[in-house]
A and B are shown apart, each in its own frame.
Chain A
Amino acid sequence: MTTTNDNFNGIQEYANDQGLKLDWIDQQGEWGVKASADGQKGLTLSDTQIGSYGDPAPTSDNMTGKPRGAASRPNAYRIGGYQVRTKSDIWLVNAAMLYEEGLQRQWSSATDVPWETIRPLPDDVERAQCQLATFLTEVEFVAADVPGRWVAGTSPDYFEPRMFLITQIMDESRHLDVFRKRALANGGGLMQRPNVTTSGTVGSIDLSRDFTEMSSRLHISGEGAVLTIFRMGELMAYNEAEKRIYRLAAQDESRHVAFGVMHMRYLAETEPERKEEVHEYLDEGERALVAGNQNPAARDTAQSEALAILLGGGEKNYDEGYRKLLAIRKRQAKEYVQRIRSAGFGERFENGRALPELMEYVKN
């Protein structure tokens, strides 16, 4: 919206004397806006969502990269090439809040992890820790590469979700970095990279051509499964450094999962006609969750064996560790069901659509 500010009319003549054109000075978005900081939280993005700078329109014709609410220029280049220009494709109600939380809770893997607490571990435990760290250092950056592409491809009118995705990219960078650090900090090394297909095939996070499709796999299935593992970090940590890593990574991951759940909820509420399509993605996601290509707690993979060793306290207690691993699988499945219900797609658990193998884990 462009408003003319009468106060500037009187100064044009004076400006001419100064050799200024000032052809921009009365071309503004809504004028007279005064966002105020809110106590301890400071001046948040939500505080600036006021007047015409607040809620964006359901569709966006912004192809020039114009900041939302700025005045348009008829001769601006159409350089955006944005493929996401429909609000429901990417929106959620709390992105601004999650973004601010993402900023406040940044941490440093160099200095916030007490590396000095790491002591030599038995060889089998160190190898298991390094195997898990190798897996995580590889898969965590999927969640940085892919959101980067969507940030670039989404209209700036929907900048709150984009801003959140940028914090996620930073978080995942730190995860790549912290698990590499763990693998190389205690007399071990990197080990076998995942011998399962994590990307590059249809149905993978990388190749999704729709944001919700991508988010259902990345935020709900993939990161949801990893979040459960991180939350159980106390059970597989052998020192304060590892405990801290899992705690901090879980904090980040829970924000990412919340983003996915809230986006799906928004879509379910605003475009219920897309629910059936989303159920298709969830069908695929559940198969992947059970097959476990991106799930470290999947059965019969190098990382699940490593987890069993870590959870059991060594190779000699493998069976005990495996029991705990299966308990984690159950918890993963239960948390997944809870998230999908919260996102507004819980009917799949009542009408028999959910994958039976997954539902087996939810029993009891």
Chain B
Amino acid sequence: MSNERPVRGRRRLVLDENVEVSEPSLEWKARTLQWGTRAKPGKGGLKIGDLNVGIYGEIPDHWEEQTRMPRGAYPMPGVPPIGIALRSKRDLWADNAADLYEEAIQRRWVPATDIPWDTIEPLPDDVEAAMCQLCTELSQCANVEFETIGHWLQHMSFGYHEVKLFLASNMFDAGRHHEAFRKRALSNGGGLGLESRGEVNRMILESKGGWSETSLLLHLLRGTFILNVYRYGERFANNPAEKVLFGLAMQDKARHIAYGIQHLRYAVTHKDDKALVFERLLNIGERVFVRELQEPALLEPMAIVFGGGIEGATVGMERVRRMMADWVRGYLSMTEWIGIQRGAAFPKELAQYLED
């Protein structure tokens, strides 16, 4: 491969006027690393994973390339680097990323038209205020999610385009959640509530040491909690609109977590001290999380929504505790599956939910 452009002959081409054009070089015609590839569509159409055949399916453990060259393309010299930081498979990979990306596209929805907004009826003031506060919190959490991924996307190598594609869909989903919960807050005589104090948000946004560490906090710690909030939101919805909204958001969130835990397990099994790094980060992260849970604005609105009003808040709080127990149980089983030890380091404030 030469960096020099060959000297090419010139000739005149008759158009509406004479234009001098180059003789075609056609050198590119022979430049392919593998020809004769025929990816076949399956039952769900032609999926991105179906393309992983021959050399196009060889996913290297490390991708030196610092440019946007597609995996499997014929390289050309002299292209300036763009500073891609994440170039090792263990830093971002998950085997399910390609399938999850296609699933995200198939399961896309539109808040404007897929939610039956006309089913929302006026609610008692306390319930409306609680729902609006919950929606404000969820909208802000989604905002942090897409800001975080938006920062990381550019740093991810094109050798692992499946992950970039999936995370673009994750960002897209988060944008939709940000929008949909805002719409709910503004559609029934209420308004937005109080902004988050943002301690967990800060922890996620500031976890810039590595994408795996961000995913640990975003997908595993915060993500699994949000999934449970969505699940209970769907269960105790006041009307079909909320039921559909929480149900669809839950479907999206389950996908984000599926990527996260698969990636974290991959990271743990491909780097010796990764499990220890994760354990130490969770030792801090879980305590930050506990502090945030003590903010009345987080769990109290849920107690009111789940209990049908302040009058039912005692029952509602029992339901919140059940939600927290479900979350803790699921979270601990995921950490175990990934290979992260919690044990005695797990905060007693969270462990107590399992004793109730």
Shortest C-beta distance, B96 to chain A (Å), equals 16
Shortest C-beta distance, B78 to chain A (Å), equals 8
Contact with B along A11-51 (1 / 0, CB 8 A): 10011001111111101111111111100111111001010
Judge if A66 is at the interface, Cβ distance under 8 Å. yes
Q: Which among A23, A28, A48, A326 is the interface contact of B182 at CB below 8 angstroms? A: A48
Q: Give Cα distance in the complex from A192 to B241, angstroms.
A: 50
Shortest C-beta distance, A292 to chain B (Å), equals 13
Contact with A along B259-271 (1 / 0, CB 8 A): 0000000000000
Q: When the two chains form their complex, are residues A173 and B165 in contact, meaning their CB atoms are under 8 A apart? A: yes
Q: Which among B130, B151, B169 is the interface contact of A173 at CB below 8 angstroms? A: B169
Tell me the chain A residues, 99-156 only, with Cβ under 8 Å from chain B.
100, 103-104, 106, 108-111, 113, 115-116, 124, 127, 130-131, 134, 137-139, 141-142, 144-152, 156
Judge if B354 is at the interface, Cβ distance under 8 Å. no
Judge if B330 is at the interface, Cβ distance under 8 Å. no
Q: Give Cα distance in the complex from A177 to B39, angstroms.
A: 13
Contact with A along B23-65 (1 / 0, CB 8 A): 0111111011111111101001111100101001000000000
Q: Give Cα distance in the complex from A110 to B70, angstroms.
A: 19
Residues of A within 8 A of B46 (CB): 109-110, 113, 115, 181, 185
Residues of B within 8 A of A48 (CB): 182-183, 186-187
Q: Which among B28, B51, B67, B301 is the interface contact of A180 at CB below 8 angstroms? A: B51
Shortest C-beta distance, A122 to chain B (Å), equals 12
Q: Give Cα distance in the complex from A30 to B185, angstroms.
A: 11
Q: When the two chains form their complex, are residues B192 and A190 in contact, meaning their CB atoms are under 8 A apart? A: no
Judge if A350 is at the interface, Cβ distance under 8 Å. no
Q: When the two chains form their complex, are residues A104 and B110 in contact, meaning their CB atoms are under 8 A apart? A: yes
Residues of B within 8 A of A167 (CB): 172, 175
A305-B113 contact given A65-B198, A106-B108, CB 8 Å threshold: no
Q: When the two chains form their complex, are residues A130 and B198 in contact, meaning their CB atoms are under 8 A apart? A: no
Judge if A5 is at the interface, Cβ distance under 8 Å. yes
Q: Which among A100, A131, A137, A326 is the interface contact of B28 at CB below 8 angstroms? A: A131
Tell me the chain A residues, 287-304 only, with Cβ under 8 Å from chain B.
299-300, 302
Q: When the two chains form their complex, are residues B190 and A33 in contact, meaning their CB atoms are under 8 A apart? A: yes
Q: Give Cα distance in the complex from A33 to B51, angstroms.
A: 49
Q: When the two chains form their complex, are residues A29 and B169 in contact, meaning their CB atoms are under 8 A apart? A: no
Q: Which among A18, A73, A104, A142 is the interface contact of B194 at CB below 8 angstroms? A: A73
A127-B29 contact given A134-B70, A305-B24, CB 8 Å threshold: yes
Q: Which among B19, B149, B193 is the interface contact of A29 at CB below 8 angstroms? A: B193
A79-B202 contact given A29-B191, A109-B46, CB 8 Å threshold: yes
Q: Give Cα distance in the complex from A69 to B195, angstroms.
A: 9
Tell me the chain B residues, 93-127 only, with Cβ under 8 Å from chain A.
101-102, 105-106, 108, 110-115, 117-118, 125-126
Residues of B within 8 A of A139 (CB): 68
Q: Give Cα distance in the complex from A101 to B53, angstroms.
A: 35
Residues of B within 8 A of A71 (CB): 192-195
Q: When the two chains form their complex, are residues B296 and A70 in contact, meaning their CB atoms are under 8 A apart? A: no
Q: Give Cα distance in the complex from A62 to B176, angstroms.
A: 21
Contact with B along A151-171 (1 / 0, CB 8 A): 110001001001100110110
Q: Give Cα distance in the complex from A144 to B155, angstroms.
A: 12
Residues of A within 8 A of B78 (CB): 195, 197
Judge if B355 is at the interface, Cβ distance under 8 Å. no
Q: Give Cα distance in the complex from A190 to B140, angstroms.
A: 41
Residues of A within 8 A of B310 (CB): 11, 14-15, 18, 20, 22
Q: When the two chains form their complex, are residues A70 and B193 in contact, meaning their CB atoms are under 8 A apart? A: yes
Q: When the two chains form their complex, are residues B126 and A176 in contact, meaning their CB atoms are under 8 A apart? A: no
Chain A residue with the shortest CB-CB distance to B206? A79
Residues of A within 8 A of B317 (CB): 18-19
Contact with A along B139-150 (1 / 0, CB 8 A): 110011011111
Q: When the two chains form their complex, are residues B82 and A77 in contact, meaning their CB atoms are under 8 A apart? A: no
Q: Give Cα distance in the complex from A306 to B108, angstroms.
A: 35
Residues of A within 8 A of B276 (CB): none
Residues of A within 8 A of B301 (CB): 24
Q: Which among A35, A189, A364 is the interface contact of B36 at CB below 8 angstroms? A: A189
Contact with B along A203-241 (1 / 0, CB 8 A): 000100000000000000000000000000000000000
Q: When the two chains form their complex, are residues B125 and A191 in contact, meaning their CB atoms are under 8 A apart? A: no
Choose, from B8-16, B335-343, B344-352, the stretch at the interface. Answer: B8-16
Q: Give Cα distance in the complex from A64 to B15, angstroms.
A: 60
With an 8 Å Cβ cutoff, the count of chain A residues facing the other chain is: 124
Q: Give Cα distance in the complex from A254 to B136, angstroms.
A: 33
Judge if A346 is at the interface, Cβ distance under 8 Å. no
Tell me the chain A residues, 314-359 only, with Cβ under 8 Å from chain B.
315, 318-319, 322-323, 326
Judge if B88 is at the interface, Cβ distance under 8 Å. no
Shortest C-beta distance, B20 to chain A (Å), equals 10
Shortest C-beta distance, A109 to chain B (Å), equals 7
Judge if A56 is at the interface, Cβ distance under 8 Å. no
Q: When the two chains form their complex, are residues A173 and B21 in contact, meaning their CB atoms are under 8 A apart? A: no
Q: Which among B53, B110, B183, B313 is the interface contact of A184 at CB below 8 angstroms? A: B53
Q: When the two chains form their complex, are residues B80 and A190 in contact, meaning their CB atoms are under 8 A apart? A: no
Q: Give Cα distance in the complex from A191 to B73, angstroms.
A: 5
Q: When the two chains form their complex, are residues A186 and B193 in contact, meaning their CB atoms are under 8 A apart? A: no
Q: Give Cα distance in the complex from A106 to B315, angstroms.
A: 42
Q: When the two chains form their complex, are residues B179 and A70 in contact, meaning their CB atoms are under 8 A apart? A: no
Q: Which among B35, B53, B129, B300 is the interface contact of A5 at CB below 8 angstroms? A: B129
Q: Give Cα distance in the complex from A135 to B311, angstroms.
A: 63
Q: Give Cα distance in the complex from A106 to B151, angstroms.
A: 23
A5-B125 contact given A42-B113, A156-B143, CB 8 Å threshold: yes
Task: Provide 30 A-B residue pairs closer than 8 Å at the C-beta atoms, listed in order of the A residue.
Answer: A28-B192, A29-B193, A31-B190, A37-B112, A40-B113, A42-B113, A71-B195, A73-B197, A79-B202, A115-B45, A148-B149, A149-B150, A156-B143, A163-B179, A169-B150, A169-B153, A170-B168, A170-B169, A176-B165, A180-B70, A180-B161, A181-B46, A188-B35, A189-B32, A189-B34, A192-B32, A194-B79, A302-B31, A306-B28, A326-B19
* Residues of chain A whose beta carbon lies under 8 Å from any beta carbon of chain B: 5, 7-8, 11, 14-15, 18-25, 27-37, 40-45, 48, 50, 53, 64-67, 69-73, 75-77, 79, 81, 100, 103-104, 106, 108-111, 113, 115-116, 124, 127, 130-131, 134, 137-139, 141-142, 144-152, 156, 159, 162-163, 166-167, 169-170, 172-174, 176-177, 180-181, 184-195, 197-201, 206, 299-300, 302, 305-306, 308, 315, 318-319, 322-323, 326, 364
